[in-house]
Amino acid sequence: MLRQLNKSPVWILVCSAVLIVFPFVNDSRSLMILLTQIFILAIFAMSYDLLLGYTGIVSFGHAMFFGIGAYSTGVLLSRFEPTMLSLLISIAVGMLIASIVSYLVGLLTLRLSNHFYAMLTLALAGLFLVVAEKWRSLTLGNDGFTFRVPDIMRDRLSFYMICLILMVAVFFILLRLTNSPMGKVLVAVRENEARTQSLGFHTIHYKLISSVVAGMIASLSGSLYVLSLRFVNTSVFALDVTLDALLMTILGGVGTLIGPIIGAAIIEVSHHWLSELGKSYAIFERWIIFFGILYILAVMFFPKGIVGSLKEMRWKKRKTKVKTENKNKRMAG
Amino acid sequence: MSILEVQDLTIAFGGQLAVNSVDLTIKEKSFTSIIGPNGAGKTTLFNLLSGQLKPTKGSVLLKGEDISSQSPTVRTRKGIGRSFQITNVFPNLTVLENVRLAVQSQAGVRYQMLRHFRGYKKMTEEAYDLLEQVMMAKQADALASNLAHGEKRKLEIAMLLALKTELLLLDEPTAGMSLEEVPAILKIIEDIKSSGDRTILLIEHKMDMIMNLSDRIIVLFNGRLLAEGTPHEIMNNETVQNAYLGGLYDDHTA
């Protein structure tokens, strides 16, 4: 059991070692950009999974925090000299605002039952979208604005490395968090909130912590996302952003950290590939249809996602192994 | 010394008085059983004691402190632990993890998010000890949802013991259990009793089982306290015989 649980960090380290070497072997620029996108969205999906997979909170407003990070970075970098310092400050500001917003939103809504919470987060994210549309002096609305980024971020290779490192860092931070005594209580809240309360835990605190941490990490991914585009508009607040995270998490495997990373990779690669195909076959321009179908199939046949289903298969294998061993023992005895 | 006092405790659901001005005093380290026909308000009374429900009127005093308006979380921390009639565990966690969470709560490790949970070896050991106590150490790695009903009840008792509360509220620990499983639970309850450091309040249907165990018996009927006394007194109480024992007998023959 111990060995099995310790496997995923090893995998991540091996994969990231390969990914570090990768750009030096392969000089395809578009592939590097695609991988960078995957890293950024994997961070976002992992933050979503902390809510959905570990704490059992269904949020339809996670784009809210993604957008907060995106606009903090965009606005600050366009107003000030695009130095590393102002970039770091902008990321910190985004995370700070996201933590305050997630705390307040959580305080107002987390006492509600799950489906009301989902609806309220949907409404609040919509509210942020409207504010971004209307506050034109700051955001230029749907037209958005471009901004300059620090030189080190202009270099695609170094940006690739930074995103990779951040993704691995977020993975390990969340791994430690979910394996901590507090993380175990988060899972208990997901499993049976009333029982967790009668064990003597204030479950609302745990839900708040989870949503604040998830909000801050989502804000980080939003900052990185607009850095890669050097452009920001209201689409960062759109519902699609949340739905993408939901799809990545469910496809990859809820309640695991590696799942969202795999999910992000699959969604981004197929998105890329389908839009390429769309150039020759018009139907593939509507790639969103395929994602819809994929989503339905995943929920119906792989509710545990790729990683979850694999784990289950291994679990069953082990169980039958134990059973046959017992049988053999009994026959021998 | 009384550990728990209940004064004029009443709760109304709509017009229905589920618990109707009940007064109780529970002595420290005693074993009290609550009996009564279905719908007498036994579980509702437990819910009032453990905080799942708030009374319409009256108060619950734990060691002299009024806890009537406090949440279940706070009451657990103050010393009231309970098991549920409907099995109430964490289904997708292992048996060990179920108990470990309770141990963790008791140890007060609540917001530690930087250390790995395996760093707390003592908690895991303690959880194992508790599983040993309820004769479930072998199933430590099984998922709670895969357990048989009787084993879930045992798990629930282990979680309750982990909280180390002074007062234990056991809501029909043998409900829905096959006859073969009952002696194991009884043994566990007897063990808890003989260790002598807990106050136990038990709801039970199986009369023969509680007669030997209980120091005192409380009879509820239609939300009211019908009688209170030693098992012997209750057996010979005419009102009880008419209202409850007689009624039960009639049910069986009918």
Q: What is the tally of structural domains in chain B?
A: 1
- Which stretches of B19-176 are DSSP H helices? 42-50, 72-78, 95-107, 121-133, 149-162
Same-domain status, A316 and A178: no
Same-domain status, A330 and A253: no
Query: CB–CB of B6/B21 below 8 Å?
Result: no
Query: CB–CB of A241/A62 below 8 Å?
Result: yes
* Residue numbers in B near A187 (CB within 8 A): 90, 93
Does an H or E element contain A321, and which? helix A305-332
A174 three-class SS: helix
Same-domain status, A329 and A198: no
Query: How many pairs of residues across A and B have Cβ atoms under 8 Å apart?
Result: 84
* ipTM surpasses cut 0.95: no
Question: What does the alpha-carbon distance between residue B77 and residue B105 come to, in Å, rounded to a whole number?
Answer: 9
Mean pLDDT of B208-237: 83
Cα atoms in the Cβ-side hemisphere of radius 13 Å centred on B70: 21
Cα atoms in the Cβ-side hemisphere of radius 13 Å centred on A215: 28
Q: Do B113 and A180 touch (CB under 8 A)?
A: yes
Q: By CB neighbour count within 10 A (0-12 exposed, 13-18 middle, 19+ buried), where does A270 fall?
A: middle
> Is there a domain that residue A3 lies in?
no
B76 three-class SS: helix
pLDDT at A103: 93
User: Which residue range is the domain that position B74 belongs to?
Assistant: 2-253
Pairing mode of beta strands B31-35, B216-221: parallel
Query: CB–CB of B61/B6 below 8 Å?
Result: yes
DSSP A58-112: --S-THHHHHHHHHHHHHHHHHS---HHHHHHHHHHHHHHHHHHHHHHHHHHTTS
* pLDDT tens sequence across B122-132: 888 888 888 88
> Is there a domain that residue A6 lies in?
no
DSSP A259-272: HHHHHHHHHHHHHH
Pairing mode of beta strands B2-13, B16-27: antiparallel
* pLDDT tens sequence across B182-222: 888 888 888 888 887 888 888 887 777 778 888 888 888 88
Same-domain status, A73 and A158: yes
Q: Residue B169 is part of a domain; what is its CATH number?
A: 3.40.50.300
Model's pTM, two decimal places? 0.83
Same-domain status, A154 and A196: yes
Q: Indicate the pLDDT class of residue A116, thresholds 50, 70 and 90.
A: confident
Does an H or E element contain B19, and which? strand B16-27
Q: pLDDT above 70 covers what percent of chain B?
A: 95
Same-domain status, A247 and A220: yes
Q: Do B89 and A182 touch (CB under 8 A)?
A: no
User: Which residue range is the domain that position A113 belongs to?
Assistant: 21-302
Question: At CA B50, angle to CA B49 and CA B55, rounded to 5?
Answer: 50
Q: Do A183 and B111 touch (CB under 8 A)?
A: no
Query: Is A177's Cβ below 8 Å from some Cβ in B?
Result: yes
Pairing mode of beta strands B65-66, B167-171: unpaired
Q: Do A195 and B88 touch (CB under 8 A)?
A: yes
* Residue numbers in B near A308 (CB within 8 A): none
B101 CA: distance to closest CA in chain A (Å): 7
Same-domain status, A279 and A321: no
A324 has a pLDDT exceeding 70: no
Query: Is A1's Cβ below 8 Å from some Cβ in B?
Result: yes
> Is there a domain that residue A206 lies in?
yes
Out of A188, A198, A202, the one facing B90 most closely (by C-beta) is: A188
Question: What does the alpha-carbon distance between residue A185 and residue A119 come to, in Å, rounded to a whole number?
Answer: 25
How many other CB atoms sit within 10 Å of the CB of residue B52?
18
Q: What is the tally of structural domains in chain A?
A: 2
Same-domain status, A328 and A277: no
A229 has a pLDDT exceeding 80: yes
Query: CB–CB of B167/B201 below 8 Å?
Result: yes
Which of A78, A66, A86, A75 lies closest to A152 in space, CA to CA? A86
* pLDDT tens sequence across A159-218: 999 999 999 999 999 999 998 889 999 999 998 888 888 888 888 899 999 999 999 999
Which of A318, A196, A179 lies closest to A256 in space, CA to CA? A179
> Is there a domain that residue A181 lies in?
yes
Q: Do B72 and A198 touch (CB under 8 A)?
A: yes
C-beta contacts of A107-112 below 8 A and 24+ residues apart: A107/A208, A110/A57, A110/A204, A110/A207, A110/A208, A110/A211, A111/A204
> Is there a domain that residue A9 lies in?
no
Average pLDDT, whole number, for chain B?
83
pLDDT at B252: 42
> Is there a domain that residue A8 lies in?
no
A31 three-class SS: helix
A47 has a pLDDT exceeding 80: yes
Greatest alpha-carbon pair distance for chain B in Å reads 63
Q: Do B89 and A192 touch (CB under 8 A)?
A: yes
Same-domain status, A177 and A110: yes
Question: What does the alpha-carbon distance between residue A299 and residue A229 come to, in Å, rounded to a whole number?
Answer: 32
Q: Indicate the pLDDT class of residue A330, thresholds 50, 70 and 90.
A: low
Classify B14 in phi/psi space as left (phi over 0), alpha (psi -120 to 50) or beta: left
Same-domain status, A297 and A320: no
Q: Do A180 and B104 touch (CB under 8 A)?
A: no
Same-domain status, A255 and A132: yes
A140 has a pLDDT exceeding 60: yes
Q: Do A205 and B111 touch (CB under 8 A)?
A: yes
Which of A204, A231, A179, A210 lies closest to A75 in space, CA to CA? A231
Out of A183, A200, A205, the one facing B76 most closely (by C-beta) is: A200
Query: Is A6's Cβ below 8 Å from some Cβ in B?
Result: no
Pairing mode of beta strands B167-171, B199-203: parallel
Same-domain status, A109 and A237: yes
Q: Indicate the pLDDT class of residue A333, thresholds 50, 70 and 90.
A: very low
DSSP A197-233: HHTT--HHHHHHHHHHHHHHHHHHHHHHHHHHHTEE-
Average pLDDT, whole number, for chain A?
85
pLDDT at A327: 60
Query: Is A181's Cβ below 8 Å from some Cβ in B?
Result: yes
Which residue in this structure is represented by tokens 């929920």? Answer: A299
